[in-house]
Structure 1
Amino acid sequence: MKKLSSRQLQAMETRQKIIAASYDVFLENGFQKATISQIIQKANVGYGTAYVYFKNKDDIFVEMMEKTMRKFYEVAEIPFAPRTKEEARHLIEHQVRLFLQLAIQEQRLLQLMKEAIGISDLVAKKWKAIREQFITRIAQDVAYSQANGLAKSHLQPSLVARGWFYANEMYMWELTEQEVPFSLEDAVYHLTEMYTNGIYE
């Protein structure tokens, strides 16, 4: 890789300062009440400088959201090549547990995401794109299972994947609430049972 110039390094550092400051500002004020002026002041950068990198607070938040959701996508990217239904069940259970554990770990940021999705068209559009990325990846695993005689062949992988992600997403959002009417392990068990018994032979 080409070595970055001092100017490029400084630009990266400035951008990261703005992102780091935005976490504090959004967590302290919520998405709606946070302002880009507060972020600029917290980052200690020039007003004009911030607008070189971001159009507005929504733009900054989208980058924060993408960074957080990459952790969740790493779970979706765990290699999936089961040879039996039982092996598939164990792999799926492991992924569900990791996904929901992340939801608990990232609870405060997910609460912000939920708020922002309902307010900002840009954030809502980005969330829709992130959803589709997960759904595409899940559909690949479903198609693999069908090709290897493990899953029911008459089901459409993309539709199965869509339903599966939406179910996980619902539990993910619920785990960010103050009072959760189920335990993590109960959620993992029921999601895994519904999915594996629903699509696997």
Structure 2
Amino acid sequence: MGTEAKTEDRRHLRSALTRQKLLASAKKVFLEEGFQKATISQMINDAKIGYGTAYVHFQGKEDLLRVLMENVMEQFYEIAAISFTPQTKEEALRTIRHQTLAFLKMAEAERNMMRIFEQAIGVSTVIADKWKAIREQFIESIACDIAYSQQHGLARKDLNHLLVARGWFYMNEMYLWEIVRDEQQSTVEEIAATITELYTTGLYL
């Protein structure tokens, strides 16, 4: 490898490390201050980097939170991406229950950052739009699973799979935010089992 290539590699590594340092500081400040009180200056000072360097990577605190949101939601996407090719209604029910429980458990595990996201969704167009995009990604994944079940004779074909997918996600989302606020009336396990039973009973043959 030539000298120029090595220098470029070092520059990329330094840039990536600076970005990660700033994200770590942003997370710390958001958790300490909340979304509205947190400032980009606090994050830059905590990361001990220059203002000019920081603004090369991020436009402001909303941009930082958007990336932190993407990082957290990657874990949720992994749950949604669990292979869904059931051969029977019972197998579909088991998989859906497992996904639902994992989704709600993740909300419980990420409660502190999810609270920051909820604060930001209420006041920031950037973050609200990001959440809408996240929601649509989940709905699209659910719709594909429903279409698979309909095509394989496991689910009712008279129901619009897009509408069902949207309704199912909204139900999960409502409980997700209740869990984030620590307002749920039952255990996460009971919630997951109950809503899965309702959903699959109405949809599956």
The answer for the alignment partner of 1:56 in structure 2 is 60
Change (3 A) 1:165 1:57: same
Superimposed CA distance per residue, residues 42-93 of structure 1 (whole angstroms, 9 cap, x where no aligned partner): 1111011111111110000000001000100100000001111111100000
Question: Quick check: 1:133 aligned with 2:137?
Answer: yes
Amino acid in the other structure paired with 1:142: I
Q: How far did residue 103 of structure 1 move? A: 0.6
The size of the alignment, in residue pairs, is 200
Q: Where in structure 2 are the equivalents of 1:105-120 lying within 5 Å?
A: 105-120=109-124
SS in 1 for 2:24: helix
Matches within 5 A, 1:81-100: 81-100=85-104
- 1:178 CA displacement: 3.5
Structure 1 CA distance for aligned equivalents of residues 119 and 83 of structure 2 = 33
Q: Which amino acid aligns with 2:115?
A: Q
Counterparts of residues 12-31 of structure 1 (less than 5 Å):
12-31=16-35
Runs of 4+ with >3 A deviation? none
Runs of 5+ in structure 2 lacking a partner?
none
Counterpart in 1 of 2:193?
A: 189
1:136 Cα deviation from its structure 2 partner: 0.6
How much has 1:180 moved relative to structure 2?
A: 2.5
Q: TM-score, normalised by structure 2?
A: 0.95
Aligned counterpart for 1:65 among listed residues 66, 69, 72:
69
1:11 equivalent to 2:15? Answer yes
Instruction: Give the alignment's Cα RMSD to 1 decimal.
Output: 1.3
> What CA distance in whole angstroms lies between the structure 1 residues aligned with 2:117 and 2:87?
37
Shift of 1:101: 0.6
Percent identity over the alignment is 51
Q: Which whole-Å CA distance do the structure 2 matches of 1:186 and 1:86 have between them?
A: 18
Match of 2:42 in 1: 38
Taking the aligned partners of 1:144 and 1:105, their CA distance within structure 2 comes to 31
After alignment, is 179-188 or 42-51 more displaced?
Answer: 179-188
Q: Using the alignment, how far apart are the partners of 2:109 and 2:126 within structure 1?
A: 25
Residue segments in structure 1 that go unaligned for 5+ positions in a row:
none
Distance 1:65 1:126 in 2: 9
Question: Under a length normalisation based on structure 1, what TM-score does the superposition of the two structures give?
Answer: 0.97
